[in-house]
Amino acid sequence: MFFSASLLSLASAVLVSAHPTSHSSESVARALPGAWHHTDDHPVHALFRRQSSGATSFPKVGSPEWSAGFPTAKPDSNQIPQAWKDALNAAVQSGKIPGNVPVSRQTAPGTNPIYDGVAHPEQQPVCSSTYKCRSDGQLWDAPNGTIGISFDDGPLPTSDGLYTFLQQNNIPSTHFFIGVNILGNPNEFTTAYQTLQADLAVHTWTHPYMTTLSNADVVAELGYTLALIYNSTNGRLARYWRPPYGDSDVRVDAIAREVFGLTTVIWNQDTEDWSIGQATGTTASAIAASFQKWLTGPKSPGLIVLEHELSAGSVGAFEAAYPVMKSNGWQPVSVAQISGLGTYQNAANSTSPVVAVSGPLAGANNGAGISSLVGAASSSSAAAASTTTAKSASKTGSAASSTASVAGGADNSNSQSGGAVAASPRSLAFFATMGALVLGACVA
C-alpha cells in the first residue's frame, strides 16, 4: 500500500511538472525507440509477471464495494468462483489430493472428529493433527530459543489494545484471521496491516472443523479468506493458515497447499486462553503458571504457543507473559521468521513490493494465475467469478453487517502433553456459542 501509493504520487508529480512544457515531453517521446518495453515472451516477464491487466486498485477497506462480493456467513461451495473449482479439479485429477482419506464427522458438538472405518487417525494415510500426527511441511515447533508469537480469531475490537502493545514493544507476530471477522472489523484489520510487523494469515472464513468438510467446502473456507486479505492488502497473498481447533489431515492439508499454496501452522503449547473468563474456563494465574513452566524449561525445540485475540483476558495473559519471555532469554518471532519464507507468497512483508508468485498458484487455472483465484477481475473466468460471488452475496443477504463476527475459539484439542485429547466440558460449553455464526453481537 505504502509502496504503490508513493509510486503513484511520484508518477503524478512527474506528470504535473511535465505538463506545462509540452515541447520537452514531445521530444522525450520521439527519443524513445519504437518498442521501449520488453515483449511478453521476454524472460523478465516470468520473473515479474503482471498480476492482472485490470486490478490496479482495490475497493477501500470497509466500504460496501469491498464487502459486496463476500458471503456474510458459512459459504456455499456451489457458488464459489469457477476458477477455484477448476483449480480443485485439476489438483484432484493430477492425484495431488488423496482420495483415501474420508471426510470426518463429529458425534457430538465440540468433540474430536472421527473417521468411519479408520482405526488409527493418528497414522497415515489420515494423519490427523487433532490426533497429533505431524505431516511433512506443517509447522509445529520454532527454532531453538525462539518463541512464535501468534494470535487466532481476530480481528476483533479487543485487538486494538493488543496491537498497541505489539507496536510499543516492537514485537513481530502472526495473526490468523477469521474472514467474517475481517468483514466486521475493517479498522482493526487496517491497523494490523499498516502498523504491525505482522504476518496476516488465514484462520478460515467461519471457523469450522475443517476435516468434517467436503473438498469444495474446504476450498470455500480458505478461498474467501485469502481473497479478502488479498483485496485488503493491495494484492498480498497470505502464505500461512491455521486450522480451527488444530483440525487438519492429509486431505485438508493437500487442498490448502495445492489449490492455494498455503502452509499449515499448528502449535506445541496451548494456553487455553480462549476460555478465560468463562465459568469453567482457565484463569490469568493458570496461564501465567504455564508460561513460567514453558519459559524456564528447555529451549529446544522453540515454542509456538496457541494464543487468541478474543478477549481482554486473553490479550492480558500475553502481555503479562511477555516480560517473562524476555527475562528468560527467548527471542520472539513471527511464523514467517520461523519458516524463513516471506510473510506473503508474493511479498516479503506488508511494506515490500508485490512480485510474481511461483509454486502451485503460478500455474493454477491453466496459467491464469493467482489473480483469477483470488477474484481480481482480469479475465473472463474472473469476471464469471465475480458474478458468482455477487449472486452468493445476494442469496445470503446484503453486504456484510458492520458488526458481523464469529466468536472463534476453542482451539483446544492439541496440548503437547498426553495423547488424543477428549473434548472437555469447557469446549462443549464453548461450542454452544459457536454452533451458529453470531451476527450482530460479539460473544467473547
Ligand X SMILES: *[C@@H]1O[C@H](CO)[C@@H](O)[C@H](O)[C@H]1NC(C)=O
**Positions in the binding site for ligand X (CB under 6 A):** 55, 58-59, 69-70, 144, 197, 227, 231, 300, 348-349, 351-352, 375-377, 386, 389
Report whether 370 contacts 363 (CB < 8 A): no
Residue 434 CA to residue 432 CA, distance in Å, equals: 5
Residue 66 CB, nearest approach to ligand X (Å): 8
SS3 333: strand
Grid coordinates representing 416 are: 503437547
Half-sphere exposure of 305 (CA within 13 A, CB side): 29
Residue that is written with C-alpha cell 493488543 in the block: 162
Name the residue nearer to ligand X (CB basis): 89 or 349: 349
CB of 266 vs ligand X, minimal distance in Å:
19
Residues 366, 86 contacting (CB under 8 angstroms) = yes
| SS3 readout for 169-225 | CCCCEEEEECHHHHHHCHHHHHHHHHHCCEEEEECCCCCCCHHHCCHHHHHHHHHHH
Alpha carbon distance 251, 125 (integer Å): 9
Q: Which residue is nearest to ligand X (CB)?
A: 69
Q: How far is the CB of 257 from ligand X (least distance, A)?
A: 22
DSSP class of 59: P
CB of 349 to ligand X, least distance (A): 4
Kindly tell me the burial class for residue 47, based on how many C-beta atoms sit within 10 Å of its own C-beta (0-12, 13-18, 19 or more).
exposed
Least distance between ligand X and beta carbon 374 (Å)? 7
Q: Among residues 75 and 375, whose Cβ is nearest to ligand X?
A: 375
Nearer to ligand X, 199 or 217 (CB): 199
Question: Looking at beta carbons only, is 34 or 340 nearer to ligand X?
Answer: 340
The CB-of-123 to ligand X minimum distance in angstroms stands at 26
- Measured from the CB atom, is 53 or 123 closer to ligand X? 53
Least CB distance to ligand X at residue 59 (A): 5
As a whole number of angstroms, the distance between CA 343 and CA 295 comes to 26
Rg (CA), the chain: 23
Q: Would you tell me the crossing angle of helices 186-195 and 215-232 to the nearest 10 degrees? A: 70
| C-alpha to C-alpha distances, 407 to 40, 164, 328, 370, nearest whole angstrom | 48, 22, 33, 30
Which residue out of 175, 203, 207, 308 is catalytically annotated?
308
Residues 73, 406: contact at Cβ < 8 Å? no
| Separation of alpha carbons 1 and 335, rounded Å | 22
Q: Which residue lies nearer to ligand X by CB, 179 or 316?
A: 179
Catalytic residue among 152, 153, 249, 273: 152
Q: In this complex, which beta carbon is closest to ligand X, that of residue 276 or of residue 335?
A: 335
Closest CA to 347 of 257, 253, 229, 267: 229
308 is catalytic: yes
Q: Which residues carry out catalysis?
A: 152, 308
